[in-house]
Amino acid sequence: MPLIREFPIAEATGPYGITAGADGALWLTLVHSGEIARLDTDGTVTRHPAGPPGCGPTVITSGPDGALWFSRTQDHHIGRITTSGEVTAFALPGEGGPFGIAPGPDGALWFTEMNTDHIGRITPEGEITRIALPALGGFPSMITAGADGALWFTLNQASAIGRVTTGGETTVHDLPTAGAGPVGITGGADGALWFVEIAAGRIGRITVDGEIREFPLPDGNARPHAITAAPGGDCWFTEWGANRIGRVTPSGEITEYDLPTPSSEPHGITVGPDGAIWTALEIGAVARLDAATP
């Protein structure tokens, strides 16, 4: 059984997104307090304002410039924070509700706008372009780079997976399960995209050619939320409704691990600089799972 250890961050601040930084630390969004936290692997925590109170930082990723980039969902900005704590913000037009964000193969950051059915692109210098999606009300959520050089994203309310090229061409693949509610998505070591279906309790896999497979979780009410790919080929995901971390192999074999604190509400998940699996817990902590422990 893998060793799981929890690190307190701050009470009731809602650690939500998490990513590994270029400085060898973990970086988190504290959505309720409007802060970004830096967590050393020894448990040392530093907190920085992400913007004005109520800005709602959600998803965070490591950028090509060595800084951390994050979405400010509530006040419709894309934020950037250096590893020394300097914050810059870029306003989006309208009230798009940016959420997912990921580096693209073109040296820019790509993000989703949940409220306006757009995919956005921002350069490290802050230049923003937006691409309108073909369907309305799809609720684009998480986004990731694929092995084919395109960006892939989940359409939560449309129960579909979208693809956009760096030139702006979009494609939408409907999921076999109606009302699946996909959220998290990641590029797997096998060249496919792996995603979670929060409403259907399944893990999904889609090839770059659009072939889809779904793998039901033992608990259909587990509400999987986020997913990340590990170097060895497995993907790890959070079960927000079941208080677990799960692992899925390239063949679809699923293993689950209970978190030590009840109702800890795991959200974001990432592979840390130490090779362990790190998960943001909305109760105010971060869990570390030693993936090397049998």
Catalytic residues, which ones? 267
Q: What's the number of CA atoms in the CB half-sphere (13 Å) around residue 218? A: 11
| Residue appearing with tokens 């309305």 | 136
- CB neighbours of 48 closer than 8 A, spacing ≥ 6? 35, 36, 37, 38, 81, 85, 87
